[in-house]
Amino acid sequence: MSARASLYVHAPFCRAKCRYCAFFSAPTGAAGPEPRALSRYLTSLEAEMDRQAQIFGRVSASTLFFGGGTPSLLGIDALARIMSALRQRFDLAPDAEATLEANPDSAAPEFLRAARSLGVNRLSLGVQSLDDAALGALGRAHDSAQARAAFASARDAGFENIGLDLIFGLPGQGVEGWLDTLRQAIALGPEHLSCYGLTVEPGTPLAADVAALAALPDEDAQAEMFLRGSKLLEAAGYEHYEISNFARPGRRCGHNMACWRGEDVLGFGPSAASTMTSSGTPARWANPASLEDWETLVLSGLAGQSGREELTVEIRAQEALMLGLRTADGLHLPAHAAATGLDLRLSHAGLLAQLERVGLVLLEPERLCLTRTGMLVSNSVIRALGFESKSENLS
């Protein structure tokens, strides 16, 4: 039987670097990627696909995700070549969820129509804010009018599943300002919303901007944004299904759900991470976050070999706890006990009862999940249970 996995492709180009961004991407300027750089990227991507197909065979996939960077900046010819290369080597289900991240300034109507006809059926639009001053302060390459126009173009192009990415906790933003952004986003009628708390990443221009840092909302205001935002979205019919994600019924992001369930993911492109199980042993690796280093690795036939780590049962179980608790589905306690030999209902009975009493968790006979307030302090809850969280609260 062939392996099953979700497929991920990292597009490594952005027009300019946003002031808060720590993702890997190479700034290209307004014209987008230079043809030679794009061609080298595509050649390396195909070589990486060849190598992984040799190792894992014709992997069956029910989700595909183009992340970045700015995938919509690749242009339609490159996107068509990648889709074709994937289909030649892997079995992408006919009804697969195929998501493309797009920025409003590179989501022209003709591009969106062509992407839709290639089989991309879900668009994740990087709106971030609908306040032009905030967009300028973040260093985004678009304004709110372009974001609205891109949303309308995506609908016209036939996208029935559109997600908007938004950021809260921006410099100078108050609770009402954030709720106003959410109301405007809801009015557009997306199927999905991702709402991330702004994180000041070391080394970014934002981290060195003393005035912006001084204008950041304090912790109480950020907590209020999270709690009131969640209530507002739920009242508008969106399920709060993961700490940072909201969806209309049936519109959860299938790709991210697979990741949060700890299922296998096969990633391509610089900085892409993979978790694949071979002969019953799961292993993880992450590609170098550099176009040159990734190309060198791939072209020397070593894709997937560098930084490879086998995942022990303990690591898998710890990750299941951390990821499960981020979702509304929570952690399935009997499955966790079977995997680790540690039944939290017995080993942490007192602590769980205490967390439940103060309203941070819901404890059912077979399931443990965070309440909305518990989501605010998810890292602390995870640490209290004896695990180290790698992620930040409110993100």
Binding residues (CB under 6 A) for ligand SF4: these are 14, 17-18, 21, 23, 25, 68-70, 103, 126
Which residue in 73, 68, 81 sits closest to 118, CA to CA?
Answer: 81
Element (H, E) at 285: strand 281-286
Residue 73 or 154: the one with the smaller Cβ distance to ligand SF4 is 73
- Toward ligand SF4, which CB reaches closer, 18 or 325? 18
Nearer to ligand SF4, 70 or 121 (CB): 70
- Cβ proximity to ligand SF4: between 18 and 185 the closer is 18
CB of 185 to ligand SF4, least distance (A): 18
Q: Which is nearer to ligand SF4, 68 or 254 (CB)?
A: 68
Query: What strands lie across the sheet with 273-278, from one edge to the other?
Result: 239-242, 245-247, 192-197, 162-168, 122-128, 91-102, 60-68, 6-11, 265-268, 273-278, 281-286, 309-310
Q: Identify which of residues 21 and 186 has a Cβ nearer to ligand SF4 in the complex.
A: 21
- Tell me how far apart the alpha carbons of residues 13 and 45 are, in angstroms, rounded to a whole number: 14
Q: How far is the CB of 205 from ligand SF4 (least distance, A)?
A: 11
What 8-state DSSP symbol labels residue 328? T
Residues 54, 56, 62, 63, CA torsion sign: negative
126 or 304: whose CB is closer to ligand SF4? 126
Q: How far is the CB of 2 from ligand SF4 (least distance, A)?
A: 32
| Minimum CB–partner distance for residue 21 and ligand SF4 (Å) | 3
User: At closest approach, how far in Å is the CB of 274 from ligand SF4?
Assistant: 20
| 47-to-26, 78, 135 alpha-carbon distances in Å | 21, 15, 38
Query: Cβ distance 110 to 87 under 8 Å?
Result: no
Distance between CA atoms of 324 and 303, rounded to whole angstroms?
29
The DSSP 8-state label assigned to residue 139 in this structure reads T
Closest distance between ligand SF4 and the C-beta of residue 140, in Å?
A: 7
Structural contact between residues 161 and 151, judged by C-beta atoms closer than 8 angstroms: no
Q: Helix, strand, coil shares of the chain as percentages rounded to 5?
A: 45, 20, 35
Q: Please, what is the minimum distance in Å from the beta carbon of residue 157 to ligand SF4?
A: 21
Residue corresponding to tokens 């300027």? 29
Q: Are 51 and 275 in contact (CB under 8 A)?
A: no
- Cβ density class 113-127: b for 16+ within 10 Å, e for less: bbbbebebbbbbbbb
Nearer to ligand SF4, 269 or 304 (CB): 269
* Minimum separation from the CB atom of position 54 to ligand SF4 (A): 31
